[in-house]
Amino acid sequence: MTTPFGVAVRHLRTRKGVTQKEMATALGVSPAYLSALEHGRRGLPSFEFLQRVAGYFNIIWDEAEELFRIARISDPRITVDTAGLPPEYTAFANRLAVEIGNLPPETIRRLAGILEKACTTRRKSP
């Protein structure tokens, strides 16, 4: 199992040609922590850590913002707060939590597209 953030960090690390141990030492974290991030066994890293990663790879502005965005959507242990929402929202969130591991990748892509379209439409509404 991995996360989008884990994939991104591994890609940056491979592109730079450094090992997990070298990168971990440079960032002041343990190799085990960095491995856990890359393999989706750790939650959202701190903003300070993300800044150190961006600095380590000399990425700026747009690429750094993309890395931060990817980190925000990569927490493998999320909580969906449906308090105050209609019952069908709570039922949907719980059903998704139970079934997500059984859904084929194509279904996940279609659901992500539906969500993106709904969010884009909502942002455009006055």
* Lookup: tokens for 71: 């980190």
* Helix residue ranges, H only, 17-104: 20-27, 31-38, 47-56, 61-72, 87-99
Percent of the chain with pLDDT over 70: 98
Residue 2 confidence (pLDDT): 86
Residue 109: which pLDDT band, with cuts at 50, 70 and 90?
very high
Stated length of the chain = 126
User: For the whole model, what pTM was predicted?
Assistant: 0.75
Residue 126: which pLDDT band, with cuts at 50, 70 and 90?
low
Architecture of the CATH domain 4-72: Orthogonal Bundle (1.10)
Average pLDDT over residues 57-64: 92
Residue 59: which pLDDT band, with cuts at 50, 70 and 90?
very high
Average pLDDT over residues 28-48: 92
Residue 76 confidence (pLDDT): 84
Listed by start position, the domains of the chain span 4-72, 87-124
C-alpha span between 68 and 30 (Å, rounded): 21
Average pLDDT over residues 29-43: 93
Average pLDDT over residues 104-110: 97
